Amino acid sequence: MKIIYFAPIPYADIKQRPQCLAEEISKTHELWYIDPTVTGMRCLKKRDWDFKSYQYDVNPKLHVFRPNGLLSVHIRLQRFDRFHINTWFERLQLRELIASADVIWIGYEGCYRLIRNNRIFPRGKEQSSVLVYDKMDDNVALEQNASIRRFLKQMRSELESVADIIFVTSFIFYQELSKKHICVHQVPNGADFEQKKRAENLHLPLSHSVKRRFGYIGTISHWFDQELIRSLALAMPECEVALVGPVLIEKIDLPNIHYYGTVPKEQVPEWIRCFDVCLYPFKRGPLLDTIDPVKIYEYLSENKPVIAADNLEMEKYRDYLYTYQTKGEFLKLCRKDSLRCPFDDQKSQKEFFLANSWQQRGNAVLKAIIDYRKQKENSR
């Protein structure tokens, strides 16, 4: 089986769901991982000229390809392209790959623009492929640019109506889509438990004089609860709040809040080991209910106490962490002298991660696709 995966992030980026699933599936099937195109318009604006195509192999069955984006325009202008002129150059480069695919997998709604106009493909060939939509995030809600939001909303609506199979990460996505689509599967994010064994002992720029260290790993953007973190720092000045990851919003200027920036993925376990308590301080609301956070698995893999904003996706972690609904509940938990670790022993920890491994997730994805193809063949 040959799978063409239009990924939401470059393969060389920090390893997340797209790369993990691609690696698992490529153990038994050929997979082409299509990196997002870097447009000539973006390069002109930033003057970095990184629009060229490339191709390389991760393993004999996992290939990475990025189309040349010289003649492509920024995604915010795509919704005005009614005749699909702006995607012609990208689609031309992908023509042979798509024509030979058994499965076309869309991991980001914006990528659907590359296959929705079938004029450049051999007639009838594209209809024989299984179209998969992997809805891992609510990208419309996450996007702050109004023009891009409208375009993604349009692509999402079309994808939900034409996809043969839809995979979702969160229960709320499953509830919404299973009402209008007959082939929806909930495949949450997973964990790489073995990664902790590969982490090196690193010298991290942390102070050893604090009473307790609260830590967060991940992107800090508009969904991050700044005021909650400010309240924690003011209420417990003897403690440190360590924030590790890219910062896309204004920083909090307090002496016991420290920003450490983006760190290599292989260093994440070592950073988490330095935290006394791990935080998941996202703003509570509809968006939070759609997020199945990989960082929770990362925290649990180090068996660290976790305090997380209460939401629908936390239901499956109830036995392993503490949740809060209000600022008062959050601060009360932070002030507790001792918080229990998620697992009592290595056996229970291993059992949890075996049930939530990327291998298990990859098998679930393949089973759904193979079952659908068999059903399609039998119905002919």
Residue pLDDT tens, the chain, 380 long:
999 999 999 998 878 899 999 999 999 999 999 999 887 666 666 666 677 889 999 999 999 999 987 766 666 556 555 656 567 788 889 999 999 999 999 999 988 888 876 544 444 444 578 999 999 988 888 888 888 888 889 889 999 999 999 999 999 999 999 988 889 999 999 987 765 554 455 667 776 677 899 999 999 999 999 999 999 999 999 999 999 999 999 999 999 999 999 888 888 888 999 999 999 999 988 888 898 988 999 999 999 999 999 998 898 898 999 999 999 999 999 999 889 999 999 999 999 999 999 999 999 999 999 999 988 888 76
User: pLDDT tens digits, residue range 308-345?
Assistant: 999 988 988 989 999 999 999 999 999 998 899 999 99
On whether both 123 and 215 belong to a single domain, the answer is no
Based on the fold, state whether residues 16 and 161 are members of the same structural domain: yes
| Domain interval for residue 254 | 195-354
For position 56, which CATH number holds?
Answer: 3.40.50.2000
Domain co-membership, 363 together with 338: no
Paired strand residues for 278: 215, 306
Shared domain for 350 and 311, answered yes or no, is yes
Q: Do 209 and 336 belong together in one domain?
A: yes
Give the residue among 127, 148, 158, 144 at the shortest CA–CA distance from 80.
148
Specify whether 69 is located in the same domain as 117. Answer: yes
Q: Are residues 105 and 200 in the same domain?
A: no
Q: Which residue has 């024509």 as its token pair? A: 99
What pLDDT was estimated at residue 253? 95
234 shares its domain with 266: yes
**What is residue 75's predicted lDDT score, i.e. its pLDDT?**
65
Which amino acid does the sequence have at 362? Answer: G
Q: Is 80 in the same domain as 93? A: yes
Beta strand residue intervals within 54-169, DSSP E? 54-59, 62-66, 103-106, 130-135, 165-168
Q: Check whether residue 339 and residue 370 sit in a common domain.
A: no
Split into its structural domains, the chain has a count of 2
Task: Specify whether 176 is located in the same domain as 221.
Answer: no
Cα 186 → chain centroid: 15
Q: Which residues contact residue 226 at a Cβ distance below 8 angstroms, ignoring those fewer than 6 apart?
A: 249, 250, 252
Q: Which residues, 6+ apart, have CB-to-CB distance to 290 below 8 Å? A: 137, 138, 141, 170, 172, 173, 313
**C-alpha triplet 306, 190, 308: angle, nearest 5°:** 20
DSSP 350: H
Which segments within the chain are labelled E, that is strand? 2-6, 30-34, 54-59, 62-66, 103-106, 130-135, 165-168, 184-186, 213-217, 240-244, 257-261, 277-280, 306-309, 322-324
141 and 289 in a common domain: no
Instruction: Measure the N-to-C terminal CA separation of the chain; round to a whole number of Å.
Output: 19
Q: What is the pTM of this model?
A: 0.84
